[in-house]
Structure 1
Amino acid sequence: MKLLKNMDLLVVDDSDIICKSSRILLTKIGFNRDKIRLVGQANRAVLECRVTAFDILIVDYNLGEGSTGLQLLERLYHEKLLAHDPIILIVTADNSATVIRSFSEFEPSGFIVKPLRVDVLTESLKACMDEKAFITRVVDSYHQAGLSEALPTLKEAKSKKIYNLALTKLCSEIISVGEDDIASRLLVNYIKANSYVRAHIMYVDLMLKAGNIEEAEKVLLPLRKANRFSVPVLELECRFQFEKGMYEQAAESMLHLHKMSPQRLPRLYALILQHVGFLANENIAKLIQELAFKSSHSIWEEPNLYFLLSWILLQEAEFSNRSTSEIWGMLTRNKKFTKPDNSLQSRLGVWSLANSGQYSAAYELLQSCEEVEECFETLFVAYHTLHVLGMWQEMQSTLQKLVAISDQEPQSLLRDIQNKMAKKLIADWRSQKSTLVTFPKSFDGLPIEYLFKLWGDYRFNIKVAEQIVSHDDYKQQEGIAGNKSLFKEVNLTIEQNKKLIEE
């Protein structure tokens, strides 16, 4: 392990006085003053962690401006900025069971109650560094010589706590190299005689991943009974219920989870997604407004989130008469629009036009929209917009991207829900596609009436558009009043395609 003077530290506290006094205390312990970064906001802390892999993070629980130390850790883990396993100390004025429990799934290295004192800080840091040094030794021995060396090293642990931490870290390393079966065997043998919750959770997680629902349930039920107030255990139960298709029970569990840990905004977002994808919920607008209110000025405030929430609200009866800009303004508290905001709102406008049957206007606006970041939210709405427009071939490529992105979500519960939503859309797409008019391999000799039917299922397809305008009966059919909107769409498709070629 590095010498104290070579370690990089990050102190996160919304009080400038506490930040500066913390630096004084840390320099007295032996840390280099120039390697101690002080920040007062969660967003700044994320930026610092993107640049520097800090050895130690000292984080205040209450960071002001809508963010907490819990949300900061959540964001850092989400962006995989803590993969190097730094020492994390949480500083709080309230060391109640509720506060400590809320951090349980992240397992910070320790908690320190304000006010900070040199002796307490020194003792806490020494204990954390001893733990980290031992865990590193166990993991290194595994990478150098495999389990034959790692397991004897593990037995040298000086306490049950260090043994538990080292075992689960070892299993994480084994899983990271694709040896899930080996990790499962280690964990199942250990949990038979030990109650360490993290080990049980890891094992159930592996069983869910392997599709062994029966084994997962066998371990989960007694674990849930013994840990009724454990947030990670309850979240695991939600994932289990969701995997079994028990959507109503999962929703109830998630609502309970939200009440236990209301600051975990991705979990509230997961609850909203579940209702959008699998259940109709009369309180969805209330949940969305709660998420938008809590996200505002927080570390989770992102345009893509407001984009999806706005799209959901546009479909609610009480918001159906409001414009996209009105709903966006309501969710963002009328903040000034940025360029990405405008691009996303344009895409909401495409969906609104398409949903009201104004296909030509929707398609024309879609072609003029600027590119947006491809993420779960934008792809999910894009799929539904293309579905309304009847652009089936584009829907297929969008679905492929949606599945790939949902697999990359680091948060387990959210990943499970997004992945299941994407797979459900694929099943729906395949089912509906089987009812479509068959797309011909050759257009030779096809009557124009067949091309019209084809257009209904493959709207704005350039191949179909070109076949219609080049058909012998085109001029005759063009004069029929009932075909006016169809030919407008066909001609618009050809015009837009020409523009793309010219560009």
Structure 2
Amino acid sequence: MVVYKTFYLFFSVFYSGYHSVYCLTPLFSLLSASNIPHHISVMLFYTQGLRLFMLQEKFVLVIDDSAIIQQTTKLILQKCDFTANRIHTSTNASDAMKMCQAHCYDIIFIDFNLGFGSTGLQLLERLHQSQIIKHEPLIFIITADDSKPVFMGFSEYEPNDYLVKPLRIEVLHQRLAANFKQHQLNKNVFAAFKSDGIQGARKALQQATTQSAFQHAITALCKSLVNSTPPDTLTSKTDVPNNVIPTAISLLRSFTQKHDYLPAQLYLAELYLSQQQYAEAKEIIEPLRGQYPNHLLIIEFSARLALCRGDITQTYQYWAQAHSMSQSNLERLFGMIWLELTLHPTAELLRHLREAANHLPNSIWDNKHYYCLLAWGLLQQNPLNKPISIERMWCKFTQQKGITIIDRPFVFVLQAWQAAKSGNTFIAYRYLQRIEPNEQTQTSFEFHAVLFNTYQLLGMTKPMLMAFTQLENLITSEARLTHQRIKQAWINTIESSLSNETHEYQHALALYKQQTGDVAGQSIFALWPDNRFDTTLARCLVEILCEGQLNVSHSQREIIMEARWVFESQHAIPTWYQDLKSQYSILHTPVELMTTKGLGHTITC
């Protein structure tokens, strides 16, 4: 009686997973003719159903930070007919990534809370981005937290199913049977399509026992077409067959005209966006938004569509709505931060920066570029009269004990920006000179964005134009299309304000070559605010000053100090400047001492 009650409790659990529940009525009618008790019959159905999928040959990875739960899950899986030596375990995301690279797992169980390091959600994002799971294993999320935000976060990466702790063998049997049956149907349909085209797929689809299974298999077929790259259709290792996406679009368009199946409609909209067919995508998304106003993926697609059409305000509004439902999507969050920093200022920036800082460590986004962006954003929110210790902020963000050699250029450019924003031009210039580019900075759009803005604040036209050119080059390597569009929109807004070397610049140099003395000097003074710390102009000013041909007003004295600072701040002071300094007393007093007395602060870095 106790056994019967256990089975009854199992089948009282409402199954509301992503995949369909299969109709068991025909089986029940057969079983009722025998003397087998009803509840045991159902249990036997799932057990025998699982055996059809040869579980002994399947490789399984269980990712959980608790060794006890790992072993318990392993025992439950063995009772489900899995082979013990094919069940592997991992305690953290880092080891799990290495194991997934070394083995081709058929099933992966991921715990949401993995203790120190990446969460299960961050691991799933990393697995998707790295394409390690391109072979499409079954992904099960195991969590004790069945709250809406957790499920919303995972739903954006479409795992196969969710299991709520404590894990029960009966529930696991049911979910495995349902998912394996759908998984096998999907594989059969795809294989049939590859060998015999549409006719082959239609024949394989006859295996579907429910409409839901049929609909899911069609959508999975189109995804497999796009994601797979058969060697016989490729001209290079990275090519996607030219006809694959149009074929998938044609199949989905025909299918969705007869079947109101949301996953297929969303995937068709995604393919339209990828092909820049915005009108077709809009025809799908807008009606769906009316039907499902709070559907996370529909809102996300609405934001992407608005961004493709250049509507920044609407893009931000949709993203803000999606973010209120799921705060764990860092691609969306950093997209919002980029908009808030450059194109769409809002009062929410500080809150979003803090959220990103909490989610960034141990995620796939955990790199110097995004720490640089966060720090830049926080500096913009900070009062100018209260400078921040950037080293301390950087270490807090990165969870490091100190600044590394790789970190230094990022820290120096942020320190230069903060000094320039506060009007401390001498300090800003020294920090800029200390920057030694490395592989990370050369490929970082965020680093060059801060550098460009620093040059802009200082009025350093030539370096600013060089930084802008680098930004244009880097934007083509941005892997995420949404971020690429935002960055391109920002570049477009600042491009019109840029100018190359002016006629006045060339005229001033011509006057200097003609040895016109004060006339040339005054021309250079007029150019200086837009060409601050320009090496050529600075040398002209210093030489005219030493020749005693320059009349310097009180307001022009700081320009002279800045011109001298171009050379005195260098680690190796140029020989020509040292020669002038030994000959002319006007250069004897170091600019650093003059600046300290005149501006009331030191410039020691």
Structure-2-length-normalised TM-score: 0.68
Distance 2:268 2:148 in 1: 25
Change (3 A) 1:109 1:488: same
Instruction: Identify the match of residue 544 of structure 2 among 472, 476, 484.
Output: 476
Check if 1:214 corresponds to 2:291: no
Given that 1:437 and 1:453 are in contact with CA atoms closer than 8 Å, whether structure 2 keeps it comes out as no
Q: Name the counterpart of 2:300.
A: 235
Query: Any conservation in 2 of the 1:478–1:487 contact (CA below 8 Å)?
Result: no
Structure 1 residue 282 displacement after superposition: 2.0
Per-residue deviation, 1:204: 2.0
Q: Which structure is higher in RCO with an 8 Å CA cutoff and minimum separation 6?
A: 1
Give runs of aligned pairs for residues 45-60 of structure 1, distance below 5 A.
45-60=96-111
| Distance in 2 separating the partners of 1:98 and 1:146 | 41
| Amino acid across the alignment from 2:125 | E
2:566 maps to which of 470, 475, 489: 489
Q: Is the 8 A contact 1:109 1:128 kept in 2?
A: yes
Q: Is the 8 A contact 2:448 2:467 kept in 1?
A: no
Name the residue aligned to 2:30.
none
Q: What residue is the counterpart of 1:261 in the other structure?
A: 326
Aligned partners of 1:78, 1:435: CA distance in 2, in Å?
A: 40
The separation in 2 between residues aligned to 1:119 and 1:72, in whole angstroms, is: 27
Given residue 254 of structure 1, which amino acid in structure 2 is its aligned partner? W
User: Which of 363, 370, 379 pairs up with 2:432?
Assistant: 363
Counterpart of 1:42 in structure 2 is 93
Sort the Cα spacing of 1:493 and 1:297 in 2 relative to 1 into closer, same or farther, 3 A. Answer: closer
Q: Does 1:315 align with 2:366?
A: no
2:470 aligns with: 398
Q: Is 1:384 aligned to 2:456, yes or no?
A: no
Name the structure 1 match of 2:390. Answer: 324
Find the residue that maps to 1:372 and give its secondary structure.
Answer: helix
Partner of 1:412: none
Going from structure 1 to structure 2, the CA distance change for 1:111 and 1:431 (only over 3 Å counts) comes to: same
Cα gap change, 1:427 to 1:155, in 2 (>3 Å): farther
Partner of 1:372: 440
Alignment of 1:107-256 (within 5 A): 107-144=158-195, 146-147=197-198, 149-150=200-201, 152-154=203-205, 156-176=207-227, 177=240, 178-179=242-243, 180-256=245-321
**Counterpart-to-counterpart distance in 2, 1:247 and 1:488:** 42
SS for the counterpart of 2:155 is coil
* CA deviation map 1:390-449 (0-9, x unaligned): 31453244224431232x12xxxxx31x11232124324542334652699x99984445
Q: Hey, what's the Cα distance between the residues in 2 that align with 1:39 and 1:99?
A: 21
Q: In the alignment, does 2:345 pair up with 1:277?
A: no
Q: 1:325 to 1:294 in 2, by over 3 A?
A: same
RMSD (Å) for aligned C-alpha atoms: 3.9
Measured in 1, the distance between the counterparts of 2:345 and 2:222 equals 39
Distance 1:436 1:83, change over 3 A: farther
Distance in structure 2 (CA, Å) of the matches to 1:439 and 1:155: 78
Change (3 A) 1:163 1:97: farther
Equivalences for residues 334-345 of structure 1 within 5 A: 335-337=400-402, 339=404, 340-345=406-411
Assess, with a 3 A threshold, how the Cα gap between structure 1 residues 164 and 96 changes in structure 2: closer, same or farther. farther
Larger Rg: 2
| C-alpha distance in structure 2 between counterparts of 1:223 and 1:35, whole Å | 44
On the 8 A contact 2:53/2:180 being kept in 1, the answer is no
Q: Give yes or no for contact 1:265–1:291 (8 Å, CA) kept in 2.
A: yes
Where do residues 427-438 of structure 1 align in structure 2 (5 Å cutoff)?
A: 427-428=492-493, 430-434=495-499, 436-437=501-502
Contact 1:101 1:230 in 2 (8 A): no
Change (3 A) 1:457 1:207: farther
SS in 2 for 1:192: helix
Query: Which residue, out of 72, 88, 106, partners 2:123?
Result: 72
- In the alignment, which residue of structure 2 is the partner of 1:28? 79
Number of aligned residue pairs: give it. Answer: 483
Structure 1 pair 476/318, CA: closer, same or farther in 2 (3 Å)?
closer
TM-score by length of 1: 0.81
Q: 1:350 is matched with which residue?
A: 416
Q: Distance in 2 between matches of 1:147 and 1:116?
A: 41
Unaligned runs of 5+ in 2: 1-51, 228-239, 513-519, 551-556, 576-605
> Which has the higher mean CA deviation after the structures are superposed, 370-379 or 271-280?
370-379
CA contact (8 A) 2:413 2:432 kept: no
Secondary structure at the aligned position of 1:433 is classed as: coil
Cα offset, 1:223, TM superposition = 0.7
Cα distance, 1:189 vs. partner? 2.1
In the alignment, residue 346 of structure 1 is paired with which amino acid?
Answer: F
The structural deviation recorded for 1:455 is: 8.0
Give me the whole-angstrom Cα distance separating, in 2, the residues matched to 1:85 and 1:497.
Answer: 62
SS across alignment from 1:262? coil
SS in 2 for 1:205: helix
Do the aligned residues in 2 keep the contact of 1:10 with 1:38 (CA within 8 Å)? yes
Aligned equivalent of 1:87? 138
**Alpha-carbon deviations, 1:321-344, whole Å to 9, x = none?**
222124335545x75225244453
Q: How far apart are 1:3 and its partner, in Å?
A: 5.5
Alpha-carbon shift at residue 159 of structure 1 (Å): 3.2
Cα deviation for residue 228 of structure 1 reads 2.6
Distance 2:75 2:167 in 1: 11
- Could you say if the C-alpha distance between residues 392 and 29 of structure 1 is closer, same or farther in structure 2, counting changes exceeding 3 Å? same
CA pair 11-29 structure 1, distance change in 2 beyond 3 A: same
Residues 533, 563 of structure 2: 8 Å contact kept = no
Q: How far is the alpha carbon of 1:384 from its aligned partner?
A: 3.3
